[in-house]
Amino acid sequence: MQDLILHHYATSPFSEKVRLVLGYKGLAWKSVTVPVVLPKPDVVALTGGYRRTPFLQIGADIYCDTELMCRVIDRLAPTPPLYPVAASGAQHMLSRWADTALFWVAISFTMQPAGLPHIFGGAPPEHLKAFAADRAAMTAGMRRPTIADAGAQLRTYLGWLEQQLGDERKFLCGDHACIADFSVAQSLWFIRRAPPVATLLGPYTRLGNWYERVQAFGHGEHEPMGSDDALVIAKAAQHRAPLAFDAQHGFAFGDTVQVAPIDYAQDPVVGRLCGLTDDEVAIERDDERAGRVVVHFPRIGFQIRK
Ligand SMILES: N[C@@H](CCC(=O)N[C@@H](CS)C(=O)NCC(=O)O)C(=O)O
């Protein structure tokens, strides 16, 4: 198997979701640390403009968004399954809810004044200012919950999750872990990084025990890699993942298109369409430093335009 190169940073919840999936699968991977705020020149050289964290590189294939990254990891290492049949369609719906609704209330609630010193550690005030400006620009036009809204919604959501574990099952969709466990765990992980805020989790004891079981998967074996080395690997790669193209979607193979997230950080990536199905879109692009790369996105949460 070619090296799995995860581009991420330590404090990113979506990165924690993927780190835990890699641990669950017992995979070894390379770890490239990306900047927390723009500019991200080495990220953009590989992705073509997508700035969200994390993304997965396998040679010259760049996989954006954890929904797709997790499917790719599961395809490469099918055991233990990340989408066990017994966990039914509910695992996907629960995962999507956790990656959107639960994520934003967890973030908004944790970033209250009592949580900030724990999230940012001893970062200098310039960093806090740069972070606030970066995220304000990234979410421009999005209405975020107030701390009071987020607290109320979070208690409701945590109650749902506690109820889901009510029959003493080990994981959210049964006795085996599935994608939903990792999507939910990332938000709890973020809240727990700020102990004064994490007191909110206290009453949800089944959820606390479940969280310990998910964290026990660990992160797998990993070693650091520089982003310059990751660029060299992309440029040298000969092989690219085989792709399906369904001509029923209103686009032709080779069309120049732009692909962009529909919710926040909507920076578009432009390239030649080389893969298209109901659940994936891939575009090929050339970059001076990364060479010819194929950037893959899920269809859910993204828009494709000619
Ligand atoms: N739907 C995306 C969401 C990724 C996301 O929002 N990541 C956050 C960090 S946890 C982010 O990109 N923040 C801005 C940045 O890192 O530049 C996914 O599943 O990968």
Residue 273 sits in a domain of what CATH number?
A: 3.40.30.110
pLDDT of residue 139: 96
Name the band, by pLDDT with cuts 50, 70 and 90, for residue 295: very high
Order of strands, edge to edge, in the sheet holding 28-33? 221-224, 28-33, 5-8, 55-58, 61-64, 291-297, 281-287, 269-276, 256-261, 302-305
- Final residue in a domain of this structure, among 186, 215, 244: 215
Q: Supply the residue whose CA is at minimum distance from atom 18 of ligand 1.
A: 65
* Nearest-angstrom CA–CA distance, 174 and 212: 16
Name the nearest CA neighbour of 55 among 77, 75, 33: 33
Å from CA of 5 to ligand 1 middle: 17
Instruction: Report, as an integer, the average pLDDT of 281-304.
Output: 98
pLDDT of residue 240: 77
Q: Structural domain of residue 163, as residue ranges?
A: 85-215
pLDDT of residue 238: 81
Å from CA of 202 to ligand 1 middle: 27
Do 143 and 225 fall within a single domain? Answer: no
Do 58 and 115 fall within a single domain? Answer: no
Count how many domains the chain has: 2
Do 62 and 113 fall within a single domain? Answer: no
pLDDT of residue 184: 99
Instruction: Report, as an integer, the average pLDDT of 61-66.
Output: 98
pLDDT of residue 58: 98
Query: Model-level pTM?
Result: 0.98
- The residues, any chain, with a CB within 8 Å of residue 296's CB and separated by 6 or more, are 61, 62, 63, 64, 68, 72, 241, 275, 280, 281, 282
Q: Supply the residue whose CA is at minimum distance from atom 17 of ligand 1.
A: 52
Do 89 and 76 fall within a single domain? Answer: no
pLDDT of residue 241: 83
Do 108 and 195 fall within a single domain? Answer: yes
Name the band, by pLDDT with cuts 50, 70 and 90, for residue 1: confident
- Final residue in a domain of this structure, among 170, 191, 215: 215
pLDDT of residue 170: 98
Q: Supply the residue whose CA is at minimum distance from atom 7 of ligand 1.
A: 53
Do 256 and 292 fall within a single domain? Answer: yes
Q: Supply the residue whose CA is at minimum distance from atom 8 of ligand 1.
A: 53
Do 144 and 40 fall within a single domain? Answer: no
Do 267 and 173 fall within a single domain? Answer: no
pLDDT of residue 122: 84
- The residues, any chain, with a CB within 8 Å of residue 61's CB and separated by 6 or more, are 237, 240, 241, 293, 294, 296
* Nearest-angstrom CA–CA distance, 229 and 218: 26
Do 274 and 207 fall within a single domain? Answer: no
Instruction: Report, as an integer, the average pLDDT of 105-121.
Output: 96
- CATH number for the domain harbouring residue 95: 1.20.1050.10
- Final residue in a domain of this structure, among 215, 241, 269: 215
Do 51 and 102 fall within a single domain? Answer: no
pLDDT of residue 242: 85
pLDDT of residue 137: 97
- Residues framing ligand 1 (Cβ under 6 A): 12-14, 51-53, 65-67, 99, 265, 301
Å from CA of 54 to ligand 1 middle: 6
Do 90 and 72 fall within a single domain? Answer: no
Please say if the pLDDT value at position 130 is more than 90: yes
How many C-beta atoms surround the C-beta of residue 228 within 10 A? Answer: 10
